[in-house]
């Protein structure tokens, strides 16, 4: 028998991360967050990136930026006819996403796309099909005290209702496989979106893997939109979806 060169190992096929960016009145930061996302090199993970921009009825000039951004490779943009809320924008993004993995990214620069490899690794290594980035496990700019109290309160209630041990249920960074994202229908348009998504993931038996991320919270004069009243919407949604679909 003649000697032959060993066959080259077959590399796994490249897959795609869909980054869904809900946008509402983020004229000052939208172009920068798109630049930061595109600067993240996922080549070592054999991943391509597509960016799905969904404008939720902005009135500050944001919509005028979208045609130019959509000309960039890997970027697509969609317009909702009127303001309906972050949940509606994310839902539209999921409908248009073509990737194997879906990640929500706010446009306000509070979350750092350089954390993508940290978020992706548990999924790529087969440890989980859902990963959340926790602001309380990693380095972060100090939050407003009552915002932190509110976040910990709703997270605790979620843990009790769904028998889990999350540290940051309200994080923007929610990453899941395409199969998980399409295994349920999201209905909430506004701040009820986060608890609804978490509730439906947990009720389907998926254990959420948390990883530490960095966080640079902005101030109210920089455009922060969350207020204490939203905590009641979150809690009501957690209770509702514990006992209904």
Domain ranges of the chain: 15-243
Rg (CA), the chain: 19
Element (H, E) at 31: helix 30-39
The domain defined by 15-243 folds into Spore Coat Polysaccharide Biosynthesis Protein SpsA; Chain A (3.90.550)
What residue has token string 């996403």?
97
- HSE-CB at 23 with a 13 A cutoff on CA atoms is 35
pLDDT band (50, 70, 90) for residue 239: confident
* Between residues 12 and 120, the one the model is more confident about: 120
Opening angle at CA 195, ends 190 and 198, nearest 5: 130
In the predicted model, is pLDDT for residue 221 greater than 50?
A: no
User: What is the per-residue pLDDT for 153?
Assistant: 86
User: What is the per-residue pLDDT for 142?
Assistant: 57
In the predicted model, is pLDDT for residue 167 greater than 70?
A: yes
In the predicted model, is pLDDT for residue 10 greater than 60?
A: no
User: What is the per-residue pLDDT for 228?
Assistant: 55
Q: For 231-242, b where at least 16 C-beta lie within 10 A, e where not — what string?
A: bebbbebbeebb
In the predicted model, is pLDDT for residue 48 greater than 60?
A: yes
Other CB atoms closer than 10 Å to residue 9's CB: what's the count?
Answer: 6
pLDDT band (50, 70, 90) for residue 224: very low
User: What is the per-residue pLDDT for 232?
Assistant: 76
- Its sign, for the CA torsion 195, 198, 203, 204, is positive
pLDDT band (50, 70, 90) for residue 216: confident
Element (H, E) at 23: strand 15-23
């Amino acid at each position: 028998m003649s000697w032959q060169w060993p066959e080259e190992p077959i590399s796994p096929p490249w897959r795609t991360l869909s980054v869904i960016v809900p946008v509402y009145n983020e004229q000052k930061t939208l172009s920068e967050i798109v630049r930061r996302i595109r600067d993240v090199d996922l080549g070592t993970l054999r991943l391509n990136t597509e960016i799905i921009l969904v404008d939720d009825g902005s009135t500050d000039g944001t919509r005028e930026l979208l045609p130019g951004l959509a000309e960039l490779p890997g970027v697509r943009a969609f317009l909702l006819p009127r303001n309906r809320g972050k949940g509606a924008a994310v839902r539209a993004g999921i409908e248009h996403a073509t990737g194997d993995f879906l990640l929500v990214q706010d446009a306000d620069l509070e979350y750092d796309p350089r954390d993508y490899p940290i978020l992706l690794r548990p999924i790529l290594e087969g440890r989980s099909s859902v990963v959340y980035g926790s602001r309380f496990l990693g380095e972060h700019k100090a939050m407003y005290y009552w915002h932190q109290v509110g976040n910990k309160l709703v997270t605790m209630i979620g843990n009790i209702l769904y028998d889990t041990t999350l540290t940051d249920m309200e994080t923007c960074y929610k990453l899941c496989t395409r199969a998980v994202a399409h295994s349920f229908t999201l209905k909430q348009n506004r701040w009820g979106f986060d608890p609804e998504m978490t509730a439906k993931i947990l009720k389907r038996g998926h254990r959420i893997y948390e990883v530490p991320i960095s966080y640079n919270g902005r101030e109210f004069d920089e455009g922060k939109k969350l207020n204490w009243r939203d905590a009641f919407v979150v809690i009501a949604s957690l209770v509702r979806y514990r006992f209904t679909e």
